[in-house]
Amino acid sequence: MQKIIGALLILLLSAGLAYWLTTDNQAPDIAEKTSEIEMPRECAVLADHDENMVWIEGGQFSMGSSDFYPDEGPIKDIEVEGFWIDRYEVSNAQFARFIDETGYITVAEQQLNPADYPDIPPDQLKPGSVVFIMPTHFSEGGSLTDWWRFIPGTNWREPLGPGSTIEGKENYPVVHVAHEDALAYAEWAGRELPTEAQWEYAARGGLENNIFAWGNEFRPEDKWRANTWQGMFPAFNEGEDGHLATAPVGCYPANNYGLHDMTGNVWEWVDDWYFPGHQEVDTSKLPHGYDPRQPHLPVKVIKGGSYLCAKNYCMRYRPSARHAQETTLGAAHIGFRTVRNKQKS
Ligand SMILES: [Ca+2]
Ligand SMILES: [Ca+2]
């Protein structure tokens, strides 16, 4: 009898323990942990860049959008020939190989010519780049300078300012590259920078009428699809997607064409001059693009948004979204990828 009571007690205790372990009170924790595990994942190992290009079949698509920022319109029918494009954003390791072989010095490492920048005090023309600094308070009507700071001595090797390093960040996207730096890398690699049409066509992954690269919604769980910003930009970065700043390339899932980080992580240079829309422009009058917010500066297009794009600010993690970037100015959230405009085989 005592043995039976003992066995019953053990059974009850086991059942109680099992119930306690699986009770609803525990479920959210377990679910959260599971989500953490499911979030990124395999990040790219970039042994050979050449093996990491994807062939994109040519075709027609509608570039732009009429539903978001005005510079995304008007929608334009575009025909694209087939081309190769990098599966990943160019990494620090890849960029380092280019620098080692060529001795190239990036724009952020060069002294700028004051004559080219009459509006900027000469003492601010030291070599350097701009870094995002999270504001300690959130002011209404703040300006861009509230969270971007030019820090002398910042460049692709020291991305957070003097003394910082890319050691251990070989698979992270290279940043603080000006447009000509990206172009120099592409030429060294025997490639080109994508046109805006190529980039957008590739980012859409054949799902051309969708708002996002994966569909028309950005549900809470879609945060796992791309490195963007969760929380109220610029003061609260919740990092629910696993990365507060840049992530190693390829951590987030590929789009329909097998390309990673076409949404978010870092903005990507393309080779088109920026104009505030897709309408035809007399480029003989404006040979270096035109951005009404910085009308005297040469501006090219950047695409895809970055880890700093949030729902409340920027919202440019969409294929049709675009932004103007002064060609000589890299930043902590801008990188690139290359294309090869040659036949498939
Ligand atoms: Ca993030
Ligand atoms: Ca990107």
Distance (angstroms) between ligand 2 centre and the Cα of 103 equals 26
pLDDT at 47: 57
Nearest listed ligand to the Cα of residue 264: 2
Mean pLDDT score across all residues of the chain: 85
When pLDDT is cut at 50, 70 and 90, the band that residue 29 belongs to is very low
Nearest listed ligand to the Cα of residue 238: 1
Distance (angstroms) between ligand 1 centre and the Cα of 333 equals 12
Instruction: Express each pLDDT in 197-216 by its tens digit.
Output: 999 999 999 997 899 999 99
Q: Hey, is 131 helix, strand or coil?
A: strand
Segment holding 3, helix H or strand E: helix 2-22
Q: Is residue 275 domain-resident?
A: yes
Q: Is residue 151 domain-resident?
A: yes
pLDDT at 42: 67
When pLDDT is cut at 50, 70 and 90, the band that residue 6 belongs to is very low
What letter does residue 22 receive in the DSSP assignment?
H
What letter does residue 87 receive in the DSSP assignment?
S
DSSP notation for 37-76: HHS--PPPP-S-GGGGEEEE--EEEEES-SSS-GGG-S-E
Distance (angstroms) between ligand 2 centre and the Cα of 119 equals 31
Sort strands 53-56 and 83-86 into parallel, antiparallel or unpaired.
antiparallel
Strand partners for 129: 151
CB contact set of 238 (below 8 Å; sequence gap of 6+): 230, 231
Q: Is residue 39 domain-resident?
A: no
Q: Give the whole-angstrom CA distance, residue 85 versus residue 191.
A: 9
pLDDT at 107: 96
Distance (angstroms) between ligand 1 centre and the Cα of 29 equals 21
Number of domains in the chain: 1
Q: Give residue 124's domain range.
A: 2-34+46-340
Q: Are 306 and 264 in contact (CB under 8 A)?
A: yes
Q: Are 87 and 251 in contact (CB under 8 A)?
A: no
Q: Is residue 40 domain-resident?
A: no
Instruction: Express each pLDDT in 131-177 by its tens digit.
Output: 998 887 655 555 555 788 889 999 999 999 999 999 999 999 999 99
CA distances from 259 to 42, 56, 85, 276, 302 (A): 14, 10, 8, 27, 17
Q: Give the whole-angstrom CA distance, residue 244 versus residue 124.
A: 29
Distance (angstroms) between ligand 2 centre and the Cα of 87 equals 11
Q: Are 262 and 304 in contact (CB under 8 A)?
A: yes
DSSP notation for 132-196: E---SS--TT--GGGTEEEEET-SSSSTTSTT---TT-TTSBP-S--HHHHHHHHHHTT-BPPPH
Q: Is residue 285 domain-resident?
A: yes
Q: Give the whole-angstrom CA distance, residue 306 versus residue 294.
A: 21
CB contact set of 67 (below 8 Å; sequence gap of 6+): 211
Single out the residue of 206, 199, 311, 208 nearest to residue 261, CA to CA: 199
Could you list which residues have their CB under 5 Å from ion ligand 2?
261, 265, 304
Name the one residue in this structure whose structure tokens are 């730096």: 181
Q: In the chain, pLDDT over 90 holds for what percent of residues?
A: 69
Q: Is residue 345 domain-resident?
A: no
pLDDT at 345: 62
The HSE-up count of residue 95 (CA atoms within 13 Å, CB side) is 29
Instruction: Express each pLDDT in 76-133 by its tens digit.
Output: 999 999 999 999 999 999 999 999 999 999 999 998 788 877 888 887 788 999 999 8
Nearest listed ligand to the Cα of residue 228: 1
- The CATH number for 310's domain is 3.90.1580.10
Could you list which residues have their CB under 5 Å from ion ligand 1?
227, 241, 243, 307
CB contact set of 291 (below 8 Å; sequence gap of 6+): 274, 276, 297, 299, 324
Q: What is the pTM of this model?
A: 0.85
Q: Is residue 95 domain-resident?
A: yes
Q: Is residue 165 domain-resident?
A: yes
